[in-house]
């Protein structure tokens, strides 16, 4: 699998405060990678480090295979766009002027593409309105448009839906999906609004206390969080034999517990287990959401 961004044991310390504590992650090409974590987990710090705003205390990262210590990292960064925390736009300029400034900074030969980008983000008709007078959603979209100048392959979005109204959230979500699906842009998006991320992400990285606790694909996560029956037994081997005989899909999660992804009548299960000499201690229905998965992972 090709990775666009890889970090290896990144540490970042601000005097006595440890923001990143050995963070290692891999962002596959073409994915929408959701960085999930509590406030203060290290999501924004990671993005700042990757964008070159801050130097890591130790560790390394590579963008498109180029290590941060190499001079060519500058070229790699030009293939990247980012919106970190708040959108980086000149408030006393119009949307078009902001785009022109970014275009000139990137050395793009002409203003071709500005109209297309502004149409893509829904700001084509803002005219002479200064960015200062935009709504938060419009500012976010302009920030994304500026980040898209230069046709980047990788887009870093740090909590892009914070403070937006429901309409704004939908617009940003649809924009991100469009960018990923139509333009094949890899998106690294951080958020603590898990329900929104669940609609976007193809991969997840769960961050807690400055490190990645788990990396998982959306498919795998869906498999793990789908509706199931949790059974606690005295002998899991016996349980396994019973379930194999019944042709049920299951997963052993500990020495005494298993998840059964099929509806089996309790009476039947109990009877089969008794025949195997196994005791059924408890049965419960489990229906994990992304939130409960996350809380289980990091501790609520």
| String of contacts with other proteins for each residue 5-34, x by CB under 8 A | ---------x--------------------
Cα–chain center distance at 117: 24
Minimum distance from residue 56 beta carbon to other proteins (Å)? 11
Of 12 and 203, nearer to other proteins (C-beta) is 12
* Measured CA angle at 194 (ends 193, 198), to 5 deg: 130
Cα gap 158→34, rounded to integer Å:
10
Minimum distance from residue 289 beta carbon to other proteins (Å)? 34
Strand (E) or helix (H) holding 46: helix 43-51
Of 74 and 274, nearer to other proteins (C-beta) is 74
Cα gap 189→34, rounded to integer Å:
5
Of 55 and 249, nearer to other proteins (C-beta) is 55
Site for other proteins, residues 106 to 125, rule: CB under 8 A: 106-107
Of 159 and 272, nearer to other proteins (C-beta) is 159
Cα gap 268→204, rounded to integer Å:
38
Minimum distance from residue 287 beta carbon to other proteins (Å)? 41
Cα gap 242→273, rounded to integer Å:
7
State which of residues 8, 54, 256, 292 lies at the interface with other proteins (CB under 8 A): 54
State which of residues 34, 87, 137, 160 lies at the interface with other proteins (CB under 8 A): 87
State which of residues 31, 62, 102, 190 lies at the interface with other proteins (CB under 8 A): 102
Nearest one of 37, 7, 11 to 24, comparing CA atoms: 7
Quick check: 89 and 143 in contact, CB under 8 A? Answer: yes
Cα gap 170→159, rounded to integer Å:
14
Cα gap 178→119, rounded to integer Å:
13
State which of residues 91, 253, 286, 295 lies at the interface with other proteins (CB under 8 A): 91
For CA atoms 94, 96, 100, 106, give the dihedral sign.
positive
Of 53 and 274, nearer to other proteins (C-beta) is 53
Site for other proteins, residues 114 to 173, rule: CB under 8 A: 146-147, 150
Residues lying near other proteins in the complex (CB under 8 A) are found at: 14, 48, 51-55, 74-75, 77-78, 80-82, 84-92, 101-102, 104-107, 146-147, 150
């Amino acid at each position: 699998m090709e990775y666009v961004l890889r970090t290896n044991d990144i540490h970042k310390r601000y005097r006595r405060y440890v923001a990143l504590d050995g963070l290692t992650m891999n962002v596959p090409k073409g994915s929408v990678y959701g960085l999930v974590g509590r406030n203060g987990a290290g999501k924004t710090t990671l993005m700042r480090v990757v964008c070159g705003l801050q130097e890591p205390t130790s560790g390394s990262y590579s963008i498109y295979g180029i290590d941060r210590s190499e001079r060519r990292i500058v070229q790699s960064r030009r293939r990247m766009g980012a919106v970190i925390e708040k959108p980086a736009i000149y408030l006393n300029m119009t949307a078009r002027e902001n785009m022109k400034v970014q275009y000139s900074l990137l050395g793009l030969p002409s203003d071709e593409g500005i109209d297309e980008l502004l149409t893509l983000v829904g700001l084509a008709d803002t005219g002479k309105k200064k960015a200062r007078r935009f709504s938060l959603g419009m500012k976010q979209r302009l920030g994304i448009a500026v980040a898209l100048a230069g046709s980047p392959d990788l887009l870093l979005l740090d909590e892009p839906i914070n403070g937006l109204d429901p309409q704004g959230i939908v617009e940003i979500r649809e924009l991100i999906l469009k960018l990923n699906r139509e333009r094949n842009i890899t998106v690294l998006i951080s958020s603590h609004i898990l329900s929104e991320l669940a609609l976007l992400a193809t991969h997840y990285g769960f961050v807690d206390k400055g490190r990645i606790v788990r990396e998982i694909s959306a498919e795998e996560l869906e498999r793990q969080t789908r509706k199931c029956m949790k059974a606690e037994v005295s002998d899991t081997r016996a349980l396994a034999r019973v379930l194999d005989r019944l042709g049920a899909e299951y997963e052993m999660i500990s020495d005494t517990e298993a998840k059964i992804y099929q509806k089996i009548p309790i009476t039947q299960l109990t009877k089969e287990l008794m025949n195997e000499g196994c005791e059924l201690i408890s049965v419960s229905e489990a229906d994990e959401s992304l939130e409960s998965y996350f809380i289980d992972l990091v501790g609520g």
